[in-house]
Structure 1
Amino acid sequence: MKLAVFSHCAVDTITIGDNKYEQIGGAACYCGITARQFKFDVDLHTKFGPDFPKQYLTENKINFANAESKKNTTKFAISIQGADRTLKLENECDPIEYPAPVDADGHIVSPIYHEISDDVFKKIKQDSSFLFVDPQGFLRKKDSQNDIFLENNDIDLSGVSAIKVNPEESQKIVNGSHDEMMVALQKKGSEYVILTNKTDVSLLVKDKVYSITLPNKDIHDTTGIGDIFCATFCCTMLKEKDFLWALCFAGGAAQAALESKNIGLQKIPKKGKIQTNASYFYNLVKFRDL
């Protein structure tokens, strides 16, 4: 099976306490390498500069074409304190072009900062039979100091299969309580709505909410956890056609990544560990009617 991923690669400086780590990343890398754990072929639609080690993608058998730019790679300075983090944009690469048509079993759209235009997003939706969206990069803006904040965006979710948001992101798209925002996102077009609130994960399907709680206690590097979650959910849905297993596998992947205590892409877990955690979560899923 094949997954198409639309997102920028990144070069990140991650600060945790007194320690600094230079890492390659971006949703492109986290989603792509996670999908490879599920034996998916990955076509990566991205842009990166001469400062990016493209051999890392080649070694992981990730396909990329027309990805190289004369501009340096998009770069963030990320400061992490527990489950909270702040971002500063240090460089922005060229936007992603759309090489129509894109033939894949599923598509992930997960911009990190403005690399996907409304026109490109519309074309992806027209081509995709299963489209997973993480809207973070559509919502991000920078202030005069290049610090990242979120702003309102009336994003068109028609043609979207699944969306993942946290409470802060969802408040920039719709209004209301957590339940009301999930329903509003569903009404905007997304069949599956995932709300992640720290360790609590909720999935709205039709008129039912399914929820799991990640038991992780000691949080280290949270960079890319959402991307690992998204790719795992998408791959499991495409293979198993079962949203409950997809939820449990995605939660299991996030939990395994956090438990690893590794930095950057090194935290992407093996499929065996994900499966073990998924079985654990499957017996603990709670559900309620809306």
Structure 2
Amino acid sequence: MELVLIHHAGSKRQKRRSVNSTVFSDVTSPPRGDNCLVSLQLVKKFKSNLNTKLFLPSLHHRRLLAKMPKKLSKNPLPPSSSTLSSTSSASVASSLLPSSIADPSLPLPKLIVFDLDYTLWPFWVDTHVTPPLKPNASHTSATDRYGEDYGFFSDVPAILYALPRAGIKMGVASRTSAPSLARDLLKMLHITPPEGSVKEKPKKALDMFEGLLEIYPGCKIKHFESLQKRTGIRYEDMLFFDDEARNRDTESLGVTMCLVRDGVTWEELERGITQWRNKRGYIKRPDAIELE
């Protein structure tokens, strides 16, 4: 089963409008090639064997079988629901990631850090949003005091769902002057598993970052120093997405920063990971030969 992302591109100028939604749909490809061929001769032979070699036990043997003690089945227990869930989630996550990102021969950053304003969502939370906030029924957006809707860029929910399932930790580094309001919005916006995965409850976006939230005014070098101290992850293993060029000063620590223009998308994610790999010298040569 192939998972396809369908989204509507938003206007760069409509930054205060509601965020476009992401739709997941299943596409099942019909079988092709030799797998579709069935030998008519084998079918006829099987039917012939059924008609000519079917034997029933005699009445005497049936009575003996009835008197024998019944044993418990030795068949193995079916896999637990948790095993099925984790296997399916990993499969769905790998199918969501672009092939260039999911390439097993190339490494991935251990920690990907996101800015908030105009990176994960299309507004300044300390300027455009007026509390109190109220989430909609599906928790895909929240409405402020003046009836304006606020939520993530369209690709962001799927990205936040897929990255942890690929073994990548996520963090936030934001210099907003409204940290409490930003956290409230992250609590109200939920990340829903894509359609086709095993039943899984939606999760608050705030919880996707596992507490790695550096949301307060100030230089982002301080944000990253705190993240490094808390995680123990080297700066060289971090990738940072931000919409402001001034935050490139974080690269003095060894962090790789990817500058985004219209929010984080799958294309921007792929570009950032490629940039991180190239900076670290992880370039896959097309003529490379794997030694056994």
TM-score, normalised relative to structure 2:
0.30
Bigger share in strand: 1
TM-score, normalised relative to structure 1:
0.31
Bigger share in helix: 2
Task: Select the structure with the greater relative contact order (CA < 8 A; seq sep ≥ 6).
Answer: 2
